Amino acid sequence: MDNEIISQVNQALLPSAFIIMMGVLLRRWQPSGLTLADTRRVISTLVLNLFYPALIFAVIPQVSLSGDIFSSPLVSVVGTIFGMLACWAFYPWLVKNGWGKPELGALMLVCGLGNIISLGVPLLEAIQGKDAIRFAIYIDIMSVTPMLWVVGLWIAIEWGNNNEPHQTPMRFVRSLLSLPPIWAFVGAILLNVYDISLPDFIQKAVEMLGNVTMSGMLLVVGMSLSFKSLKDHKSIAFLASAIKLLLVPAIVYFAANASMTNLDTIQATVLIAATPSMMATMILSERYGLNTELLSTVLVTSTALFFITLPIWLLVIG
Q: In this structure, what CATH number is given to the domain that contains residue 305?
A: 1.20.1530.20
Residue 42 lies in a domain: no
Phi, psi of 129 (to 5 degrees): 100, 175
Mean pLDDT by runs of 10 across the 318 residues of the chain is 68 83 85 83 89 94 80 96 93 87 94 91 89 91 88 88 74 80 94 95 97 88 76 88 98 96 94 93 83 87 92 91
pLDDT at 247: 97
Residue 145 lies in a domain: yes
In the chain, the amino acid numbered 252 is: V
Residue 28 lies in a domain: no
pLDDT at 222: 84
In the chain, the amino acid numbered 108 is: M
Residue 318 lies in a domain: no
Residue 171 lies in a domain: yes
Q: Tell me the whole-structure pTM to 2 decimals.
A: 0.85
SS3 of residue 277 by DSSP: strand
The number of domains in the chain is: 1
pLDDT at 72: 94
Q: Of 79, 106, 104, 84, nearest to 94 (Cα)?
A: 104
Count CB atoms within 10 A of the CB of residue 37. Answer: 9
Residue 231 lies in a domain: yes
Helix, strand, coil % over all residues of the chain, rounded to 5:
80, 0, 20
Burial of residue 31 (number of CB atoms within 10 Å: 0-12, 13-18, 19+): exposed
pLDDT at 5: 67
Residue 271 lies in a domain: yes
**What is the Cα 163 distance to its own chain's centre?**
28
Biggest CA-to-CA distance, the chain: 61
pLDDT at 53: 94
Domain that holds residue 112: 51-313
Distance CA 190, CA 115 (A): 27
pLDDT at 217: 83
Residue 229 lies in a domain: yes
pLDDT at 37: 82
Count CB atoms within 10 A of the CB of residue 89. Answer: 11
Q: Of 56, 74, 230, 225, nearest to 146 (Cα)?
A: 74
Phi, psi of 173 (to 5 degrees): -60, -45
Distance CA 268, CA 282 (A): 26
R_g over Cα of the chain: 19
pLDDT at 64: 78
* CA 169 to each of CA 143, 146, 176, 293: distance values in angstroms, whole numbers, following the listed order: 17, 12, 10, 30
pLDDT at 2: 62
pLDDT at 271: 96
